[in-house]
């Protein structure tokens, strides 16, 4: 079961995502990134975090430890932003914490140009994402971290942020366990991920017993609001049944056809050109919302 800790000091909010998690210290002397129950994403995002994160750890992938964090909003009373204080006020009680990785860096497209990833490791991560329908690990938002390891070993990839996974639990009655999703733009797609080797290795390890053990770690309160189920245990059974059916039908959804780095670059250039073509002449010098410089036809660069 997930360990339980109590937050003793609030350090800072993280504004890199829409849920505005916070960094806290806890009574076990650990530091955690806390995702709050009062966030707009709701309890299902926390359920996905637990199920996918613990499944990743069980399969040997690098994912920080998860804990249940008892949070008293009074420890963050000095937070200057009202919307963040309101989030804290709506999140008193048990929240989800992820072990903080000090010094870790986002796995950005620039880092990906030179960072080595073995095809089998890439295949394992893509396979997990395809199994759990995590469509939020793309070249633009990898939800991967590069973190140094102890000793002389090189930095490694660590998985984070699975709140957008398990998309089927938003529409239980209409999603088919064998459905194939588009993973062409997965963050690791250009590493030639060995999906079939990963499937042969990992699929037999996703057993009914393992899934029951993992879903048992989700607090009842985060499952009680799922419409269409009488009890939290009924919801747990639905997760186990769905994921078990999905892993047994892996041949139907194994991702294929990943574009190369060059193809991705060409697609990005075409997208940027199309965006510029759609603007009136007087707007073509304005940078886009991603902060990229705009270039006029005569080559003039505008940084905004």
Question: Are residues 81 and 73 in contact, defined by beta-carbon separation less than 8 angstroms?
Answer: no
User: Based on the domain organization, do 181 and 236 belong to the same domain?
Assistant: yes
User: Based on the domain organization, do 116 and 87 belong to the same domain?
Assistant: no
Beta strands across the sheet bearing 105-106: 105-106, 144-147, 156-159
Q: Which of 99, 129, 155 is the last residue of a domain?
A: 99
User: Based on the domain organization, do 92 and 167 belong to the same domain?
Assistant: no
User: Based on the domain organization, do 44 and 157 belong to the same domain?
Assistant: no
- Between β-strands 144-147 and 66-71, what pairing exists: parallel, antiparallel or unpaired? unpaired
Q: Is residue 159 part of a domain?
A: yes
CA angle 103, 109, 110 (to 5 degrees): 70
How many domains does the structure of the chain reveal? 3
Chain centroid offset of residue 59 CA: 17
Domain limits for position 55: 3-99
- What tens digit of pLDDT does each residue of 119-168 get? 999 999 999 999 999 999 998 899 999 998 666 678 999 999 999 999 99
Q: Is residue 304 part of a domain?
A: no
Lowest mean pLDDT among 155-159, 185-189, 292-296: 292-296
Q: Which of 99, 120, 146 is the last residue of a domain?
A: 99
Q: Which of 99, 118, 134 is the last residue of a domain?
A: 99
Q: Rounded to whole angstroms, how far apart are CA atoms 21 and 135?
A: 20
Q: What is the DSSP string of 73-89?
A: GGGGTT---HHHHHHHH
User: Based on the domain organization, do 205 and 221 belong to the same domain?
Assistant: yes
> What is the residue-averaged pLDDT of the chain?
89
Q: Rounded to whole angstroms, how far apart are CA atoms 7 and 96?
A: 11
Q: Is residue 303 part of a domain?
A: no
Quick one: pLDDT band at residue 295, thresholds 50, 70, 90? very low
Q: Is residue 293 part of a domain?
A: yes
User: Based on the domain organization, do 130 and 150 belong to the same domain?
Assistant: yes
pTM over 0.85: yes
Q: How far apart are the first and last CA of the chain?
A: 50
Instruction: Look up tokens 């396979």; give the residue.
Output: 127
Q: Rounded to whole angstroms, how far apart are CA atoms 287 and 301?
A: 10
- What tens digit of pLDDT does each residue of 243-290 get? 999 999 999 999 988 887 787 778 777 877 777 776 666 555 544 444
User: Based on the domain organization, do 195 and 271 belong to the same domain?
Assistant: no
């Amino acid at each position: 079961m997930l360990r339980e800790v109590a937050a003793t000091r609030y350090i800072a909010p993280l504004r890199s995502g829409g849920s505005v998690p916070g960094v806290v210290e806890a009574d076990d002397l650990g530091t955690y990134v806390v995702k709050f129950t009062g966030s707009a994403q709701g309890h299902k995002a926390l359920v996905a975090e637990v199920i996918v994160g613990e499944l990743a750890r069980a399969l040997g992938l690098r994912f920080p430890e998860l804990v249940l964090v008892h949070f008293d909003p009074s420890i963050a009373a000095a937070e200057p932003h009202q919307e963040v204080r309101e989030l804290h006020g709506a999140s008193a009680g048990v929240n989800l914490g992820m072990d903080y990785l000090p010094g870790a860096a986002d796995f950005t497209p620039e880092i990906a140009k030179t960072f080595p990833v073995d095809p089998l490791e890439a295949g394992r991560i893509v396979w997990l994402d395809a199994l759990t329908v995590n469509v939020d690990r793309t070249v633009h938002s990898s939800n991967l971290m590069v973190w140094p390891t102890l000793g002389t070993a090189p930095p490694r990839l660590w998985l984070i942020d699975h709140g957008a996974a398990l998309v089927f639990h938003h529409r239980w009655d209409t999603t088919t366990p064998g459905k194939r999703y588009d993973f062409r733009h997965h963050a690791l797609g250009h590493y030639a991920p060995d999906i079939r080797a990963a499937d042969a290795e990992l699929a037999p390890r996703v057993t009914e017993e393992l899934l029951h053990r993992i879903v048992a770690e989700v607090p009842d309160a985060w499952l009680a609001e799922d419409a269409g189920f009488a009890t939290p245990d009924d919801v747990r059974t639905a997760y186990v049944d769905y994921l078990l059916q999905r892993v047994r039908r892996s041949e139907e959804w194994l991702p294929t056809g990943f574009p190369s780095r060059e193809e991705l670059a060409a697609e990005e250039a075409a997208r940027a050109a199309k965006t510029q073509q759609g603007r009136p002449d007087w707007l073509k010098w304005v940078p886009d919302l991603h902060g990229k410089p705009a270039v006029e036809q005569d080559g003039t660069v505008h940084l905004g």
